[in-house]
Chain A
Amino acid sequence: MKTQLRKGTLEMCVLAVLAQQDSYVYELVGRLSASMEISEGTIYPLMRRLQADAWVSTYLTESSSGPARKYYRLTPAGQTALAQMQQEWASFVSEINQVLHAHAAPQGVDHATN
């Protein structure tokens, strides 16, 4: 379940990292893998999809070592999408927490007396 949760939210995490600052894929993977397990190979198909949805745009920057680097930047549409995802995520988490806490609460509350 944890794997699926992580995968399902990867898109949101990528957008969130890009919201802090523009980045290139290797750096992006580094940042993400610092706090979560990700499959490095799947990040490119994901980036291409985000680009097709116009949630991110790219630009090239000269790098100190080797060829020009492709940087990804969040577009206004991407910011909107991220905000919406975060909102959905928060409400999802709070729903689940409510259920978990309700069941973790002490048993024996007698509803019949109400």
Chain B
Amino acid sequence: MQQTEFLNQLEAALQALPAAERAEILADYRAYFADGLADGRSEAEIAMALGDPARLARELLAERCLQSWEAHKSPRNLWGALVALGGLGIINVLLALPYLLMLTVLSSLWLGALGITFAGLLLTGTWATQTVFGWPSLNHSWATVAQDETGWPWAGRQAGEIWASGPAGESVHIQRQSDGQVIIQATDGDDELHIRRDASGAVQEIRASDGENVLNIGGWMGPTPGALLATGLGLLLLGGFGVVVGGLILRAIWRGTGRWLRWQAELVSGQTTQSAV
């Protein structure tokens, strides 16, 4: 093989590289030929000594991909390095797929843990602002008075009570009792919805009936400040644990991958001392 042919093949095989980098590599090999010729060797001799240009290109490309991966550990660079090394026959890309899948699943789990942590933070933060500033209020009070124009002929408001009723006997009553309980009752003929809230703001009972069937849900835990804090801290603990442990595992795998790929690459290009043992 002559110099021109060698350089052309090398250039063709290095298409994936940026033009400037490709030109630099080609200039290096051109200089090598020039030095060799000045040394009295023939072009064919030098080309033979340098080896197969396609093989050299694959090595240069793999090296380049590994550098990108080491500089910036993004999934894209990982994929690039895997494909480049696969091209060198260093690793089997098909074997790498389950590995990538596992990495993806682990990353998703980690993101889930992150989400739980955020939820915990939110709840704990709500508890803190609620305790310190009284906001947001857990004890929502509503005081909308139905207007005559809405078609409700009878609506009214008196101490602790808001009520509205329609022409067909349908009515809504909101009533605050002296012990702090709030009762909301909506009726329409036989249908009835009854919601009872205690003084702390927790829903104690929801009862719905259509005259024949009755659904009754009682003993509800409302969003009391204590429950809010406990849930928030629980989520924080759980999520934080997941994030830390998952993060450590991911980081170890992520870094291990780089080292493993580098080691594999060096094994083949023969740059590792491990291969000497």
Chain A interfacial positions (CB closer than 8 Å to B): 3-5, 7-11, 24-27, 30, 39-42, 44-46, 48-49, 52, 65-67, 69-70, 88, 92
Q: Which 4 A-B pairs have the closest CB atoms?
A: A7-B270, A26-B35, A41-B51, A8-B276
A45 to B52, CA, bound (A): 13
Given contacts A26-B39, A65-B38, A69-B31, contact A45 B269 (CB under 8 A): yes
Chain B interfacial positions (CB closer than 8 Å to A): 25, 28-29, 31-32, 34-36, 38-39, 49-52, 55-56, 59-60, 63, 67, 269-276
**Contact indicator A45/B59 (Cβ below 8 Å):** yes
A42 to B53, CA, bound (A): 11
28 A-B pairs within 8 Å (CB atoms) are namely: A4-B270, A4-B275, A5-B276, A7-B270, A8-B271, A9-B273, A9-B276, A10-B271, A25-B31, A26-B32, A26-B35, A30-B39, A40-B49, A40-B51, A41-B50, A41-B56, A42-B56, A44-B28, A44-B29, A45-B56, A45-B59, A46-B269, A48-B60, A65-B38, A67-B34, A69-B31, A70-B28, A88-B273
Given contacts A24-B35, A25-B28, contact A8 B63 (CB under 8 A): no
Chain A residue at minimal CB-CB distance from B59: A45
Chain A residue at minimal CB-CB distance from B28: A44
**Contact indicator A70/B51 (Cβ below 8 Å):** no
| Chain A residues in 8 Å Cβ range of B55 | 41
| Chain B residues in 8 Å Cβ range of A8 | 270-276
| Chain B residues in 8 Å Cβ range of A65 | 34, 38
**Contact indicator B270/A44 (Cβ below 8 Å):** no
| Chain B residues in 8 Å Cβ range of A42 | 51, 56, 59, 269-270
- Which of A5, A7, A30, A44 has a CB less than 8 Å from the CB of B271? A7
Minimum distance in angstroms from B273 CB to a CB of chain A: 5
Given contacts A25-B32, A44-B25, A69-B31, contact A49 B275 (CB under 8 A): no
Minimum distance in angstroms from A57 CB to a CB of chain B: 15
| Chain B residues in 8 Å Cβ range of A4 | 270, 275-276
A30 to B40, CA, bound (A): 13
